[in-house]
């Protein structure tokens, strides 16, 4: 039996430069899709995947994230006295989540952020979720990865095919399909990984998306490697190092992914999530149609 994954790490200490000026004084992770902050979508995905312990890596200017998952006595009291039961339940559900925090004092890269969570994770497998990758899926994307992990007991990365011209925004894998296990054509064994390659140097069109199931040896790799692309400690480089001593798998998840850390991706996600809402969808659709684009 492979050890159960009980903890999910949310690196949220980046500077969010693609979303300035909105992210000057508020964390990117708190930008809402309709009425829910990005990070809450990710946290709910972890919980729906069976993970109860949330670890958020924060930095300066990120206190709104801690406040969001904290109890708000005044607000709860007000909602109670006004008999707003549904809103009260919504607010309480958020503060009931078990969240721990660790600080990344300087934004030295995603790999560096993950390494900050080492003490809180301990010697056990863990998930990593980048909350600006929002994935709308019938089976939560992280759950899909966990199913692979539970079978192989090895790290698993979320993969997605992206057009060549966009590939240099991603970590990219060289991977071979794993045919067995019920003919799952979504499963790959990773041969190599490259962070943000030029289109002509990319080993494939399979990009790493922000969901990972990792084993604790990856911390050692992250500690060992030198800064890479952009002078940052890259998680992709850490995984490349870990690949020397253990297999790593990739899974082309089922679902729609939105890059909500990017303005256009954020707008697309906002429109599509709003259209799906029972309370807003119909009116919003009528409004969009009235624009006669």
Residues in CB range of 227: below 8 A, 6 or more apart: 108, 109, 233, 234
Buried b (16+ CB within 10 A) or exposed e, 197-219: beeeebebbbbbbbbbbbbeebb
Secondary structure (3-state) at 5: coil
* Token pair for 157: 């990365």
- The structure tokens listed for 69 are 């998952």
Max CA separation in the chain (angstroms): 62
Calpha distance 89→171 (Å, rounded): 39
Q: How far is the CB of 131 from ligand UTP (least distance, A)?
A: 6
Q: Residue 49 in contact with residue 147, Cβ under 8 Å?
A: no
- As given in the structure block, the two tokens for residue 94 are 């958020």
Q: Are strands 32-33 and 249-252 parallel, antiparallel or unpaired?
A: unpaired
**Footprint of ligand UTP on this chain (CB under 6 A)?**
11-19, 28, 57, 104, 107-110, 112-113, 130, 132, 261
- Give the residue among 209, 212, 186 at the shortest CA–CA distance from 265: 209
Q: Which is nearer to ligand UTP, 31 or 242 (CB)?
A: 31
Q: How far apart are CA 262 and CA 83, in angstroms?
A: 39
Q: Shortest Cβ distance from residue 174 to ligand UTP (Å)? A: 22
Task: Find the shortest distance in angstroms from Cβ 116 to ligand UTP.
Answer: 8
Nearest distance, CB of residue 261 and ligand UTP, angstroms: 5
Of 56 and 274, CB closest to ligand UTP = 56
Question: Which residue lies nearer to ligand UTP by CB, 128 or 178?
Answer: 128
Q: How far is the CB of 264 from ligand UTP (least distance, A)?
A: 13
C-beta of 18 vs 220, nearer to ligand UTP: 18
In the complex, minimum distance from the CB of residue 241 to ligand UTP, in angstroms, rounded to a whole number: 18
3-state secondary structure of 225: coil
Q: For ligand UTP, which is the closer residue by CB, 112 or 211? A: 112
Of 113 and 162, which has the nearer Cβ to ligand UTP?
Answer: 113
Residue nearest to ligand UTP (CB): 14
């Amino acid at each position: 039996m492979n050890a159960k994954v009980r903890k999910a790490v949310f690196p949220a200490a980046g500077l969010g430069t693609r979303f300035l000026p909105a992210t000057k004084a508020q964390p990117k992770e708190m930008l809402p899709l309709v009425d829910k902050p990005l990070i809450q979508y990710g946290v709910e995905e972890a919980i729906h995947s069976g993970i109860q312990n949330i670890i958020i890596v924060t930095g300066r200017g990120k206190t709104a994230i801690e406040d969001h998952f904290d109890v708000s006595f005044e607000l709860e009291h007000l909602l109670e006295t006004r008999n707003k039961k549904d809103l009260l339940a919504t607010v309480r559900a958020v503060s009931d989540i078990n969240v721990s925090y660790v600080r990344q004092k300087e934004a030295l890269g995603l790999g560096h952020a993950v390494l900050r969570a080492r003490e809180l994770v301990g010697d056990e497998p863990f998930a990593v979720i980048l909350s600006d990758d929002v994935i709308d899926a019938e089976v939560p994307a992280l759950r899909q990865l966990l199913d692979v992990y539970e079978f192989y007991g090895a790290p698993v990365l979320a993969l997605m095919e992206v057009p060549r011209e966009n590939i240099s925004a991603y970590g990219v894998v060289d991977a071979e399909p794993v045919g067995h296990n019920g003919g799952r054509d979504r499963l790959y064994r990773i041969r190599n990984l490259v962070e943000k390659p030029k289109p002509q140097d990319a080993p494939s069109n399979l990009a790493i998306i922000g969901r990972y199931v990792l084993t604790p040896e990856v911390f050692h790799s992250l500690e060992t490697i030198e800064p890479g692309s952009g002078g940052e400690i890259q998680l992709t480089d850490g995984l490349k190092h870990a690949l020397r001593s253990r297999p790593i798998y990739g899974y082309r998840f089922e679902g729609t992914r939105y890059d909500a850390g990017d303005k256009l991706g954020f707008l697309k996600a906002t429109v599509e999530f709003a259209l799906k809402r029972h309370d807003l969808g119909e009116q919003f659709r009528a409004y969009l149609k009235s624009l006669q684009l």
